[in-house]
Amino acid sequence: MQAPTIVPQTRPIRIAVIGCGALAQSQHLPNIVAAPQLSLQACCDVSDETLTACQARFSPAYTSTDFAPVVRDPDVELIVLAATERLRLPVIRAAAEAGKPIYVEKPMARSLEESYQIQQIVRDAGIPFCIGHNRRSAPAMIEAHQIFRQHMENPTAVPWRWERESPRMGLAEEGVPGMSVRVNDDWHSWKNWVFDKEQAPHGPMLFEMTHFTDMCNWFMDDEPEVVTALDSGMLNSGVVIRYRNGAIATIGMFANGTFGYPKELYEVFGQGAAVAVDHMLEVRTVGIDDAPPHKTYAMLNDRHSSVGTEGGLSGWLAKKRTACEEAAAAGDPLQQFTAEPDKGHAHHLHRFVAEVTGQGPMVCGVDEAVRATQVAIAAIQSARQGKPVLVETLGPPTA
């Protein structure tokens, strides 16, 4: 096994993208070619048609249908792995043997067993590793997390907080956070592989849920202890996570919704305060005097700059209504997409590059990926068994 690569900072970092499907072509590849500090060395995919399209659009130095020589290529300094989950373990093993840093899309694997194998491989190799939980790098989420964690650690009581009787004895739970996550999705947008039990044996409760279990772990800042869940099949599920410190997080994930409505709402509470992140377009705070009560964030790919000029959630809804009307008139559902929230894809990769070059801290490592997967698998087991599941029973510790 080679020593981990030390990537120089004096020139663009040469990247290979392995797995060049829809996500890579919509996010990773354009983000790489748009960044002067990055260089696209190789595109690798099993489809010649996909590689032809990538060559024409993104101009990599070369393309390949075989990941092995790409990973071994001395000119490849960082790997972005967006291939399907069933192919990730062998690529990660090869990258570790070559000492290459690797950015891996979520979920890291199809099962906990594979996740634990990857965790051990990465630990043994000592390579920089980042899981694509990109919401950790969304500008709105970063600021909301900073505001909330700072308040939890150094609370300041607001003078207007109502106390019915005084003096009041404090309750320990005052300092224990709580969180609610609501996810609205539309299953009509899913590809056929979602329904393939070999490709996605656990459905969206794994391949989509890990985004949100990771967000809960990040905001609650403690070890998940027990998970209880219900589902109605593939589309709808509700999950409750209790942490060792007593914190509670809930996730409601509903795939029978609509893209005409904001996808994600995060609300966190504690120490007499609330912080809400709505569709990563605005952050609202109450009970934290030194935090802005309302802040909006830039939208990406806005085709309707003259509509909804106030920005934020109301501005996005106006733009979305206009886009949906255009899509209906044209008979083209793709026209509904406009002014999307910044979910952190480009920032997440750039932050990982900073980690690899020694200019930034760890972004979201293999232990965080395993922990998010453990909670998702516990939710799947709980829904199937009809009882709470202890996270510690699922496998080896992650620390």
Integer CA distances (angstroms), 386 to 203, 227, 231, 234, 374, in order: 18, 11, 10, 16, 17
Judged against a pLDDT cut of 90, whether residue 360 lies above it is answered with: yes
Mean of per-residue pLDDT scores for the chain: 93
Q: When comparing pLDDT for 165 and 377, which is higher?
A: 377
Interval 244-270 mean pLDDT: 97
The per-residue pLDDT for 4 is: 54
Integer CA distances (angstroms), 48 to 45, 360, 399, in order: 7, 37, 41
Q: What tokens were used for 141?
A: 């989420």
The per-residue pLDDT for 5 is: 53
| pLDDT tens digits along 44-95 | 999 999 999 999 999 999 999 999 999 999 999 999 999 988 889 999 999 9
Which amino acid does the sequence have at 300?
L
Q: How many residues does the chain have?
A: 399
The per-residue pLDDT for 297 is: 98
Judged against a pLDDT cut of 50, whether residue 398 lies above it is answered with: no
Q: Any idea which of 143-147, 206-210, 305-309 has the lowest mean pLDDT? A: 206-210
Interval 341-353 mean pLDDT: 97
Percent of the chain with pLDDT over 90: 83
Q: Report the distance separating Cα 249 and Cα 216, nearest Å.
A: 6
Q: What tokens were used for 227?
A: 């998970």
The per-residue pLDDT for 372 is: 95
Contact 242, 216 (CB under 8 A): no
Q: Report the distance separating Cα 163 and Cα 52, nearest Å.
A: 67
Interval 178-197 mean pLDDT: 89
| E strands, 281-385, in order | 282-286, 294-296, 299-300, 340-341
The per-residue pLDDT for 319 is: 97
Q: What is the H or E stretch that residue 228 is in?
A: strand 224-231
Q: Report the distance separating Cα 31 and Cα 345, nearest Å.
A: 8
Q: Which of 95, 276, 250 is nearest to 180 (CA)?
A: 250
Percent of the chain with pLDDT over 70: 95
Gyration radius from the chain CA atoms? 22
Interval 183-188 mean pLDDT: 95
Which amino acid does the sequence have at 7?
V
Per the omega criterion (within 30 degrees of 0), is the bond before 107 cis? Answer: yes
Integer CA distances (angstroms), 140 to 22, 53, 121, 329, 331, in order: 25, 33, 33, 33, 33
The per-residue pLDDT for 76 is: 98
| E strands, 301-352, in order | 340-341
Q: Report the distance separating Cα 13 and Cα 80, nearest Å.
A: 12
Judged against a pLDDT cut of 80, whether residue 170 lies above it is answered with: no
- Beta carbons within 10 angstroms of residue 359's beta carbon: 10
286 beta partners: 274
What are the phi and psi torsion angles at 322 (to 5°)?
Answer: -65, -45
Q: Tally the C-alpha atoms within 13 A of residue 363's C-alpha that lie toward its C-beta.
A: 32
Distance of CA 213 to the CA centre of its chain: 10
Judged against a pLDDT cut of 90, whether residue 357 lies above it is answered with: yes
End-to-end CA distance of the chain: 24
64 beta partners: 44
Q: Which of 139, 130, 33, 138 is nearest to 82 (CA)?
A: 130
The per-residue pLDDT for 250 is: 98
The per-residue pLDDT for 167 is: 63
Give the confidence band of 9 by pLDDT, cuts at 50, 70, 90.
low
Which is it for the CA torsion 183, 187, 188, 193, positive or negative? positive
Max CA pair span of the chain = 73
Contact 227, 241 (CB under 8 A): yes
Cα–Cα–Cα angle for 273, 275, 280, nearest 5°?
180
Interval 112-131 mean pLDDT: 96
Q: What tokens were used for 344?
A: 């952190």
Q: What tokens were used for 21?
A: 């499907």
| pLDDT tens digits along 200-234 | 777 787 878 999 999 999 999 999 999 999 999 88
Judged against a pLDDT cut of 90, whether residue 241 lies above it is answered with: yes
Q: Any idea which of 5-14, 186-195, 262-271 has the lowest mean pLDDT? A: 5-14
| pLDDT tens digits along 269-303 | 999 999 999 999 999 999 999 999 999 999 999 99
Q: Report the distance separating Cα 346 and Cα 30, nearest Å.
A: 9
Judged against a pLDDT cut of 80, whether residue 199 lies above it is answered with: no
| pLDDT tens digits along 31-50 | 999 999 999 999 999 999 99
Per the omega criterion (within 30 degrees of 0), is the bond before 74 cis? Answer: no
Q: Report the distance separating Cα 182 and Cα 268, nearest Å.
A: 12
Judged against a pLDDT cut of 90, whether residue 399 lies above it is answered with: no
The per-residue pLDDT for 151 is: 97
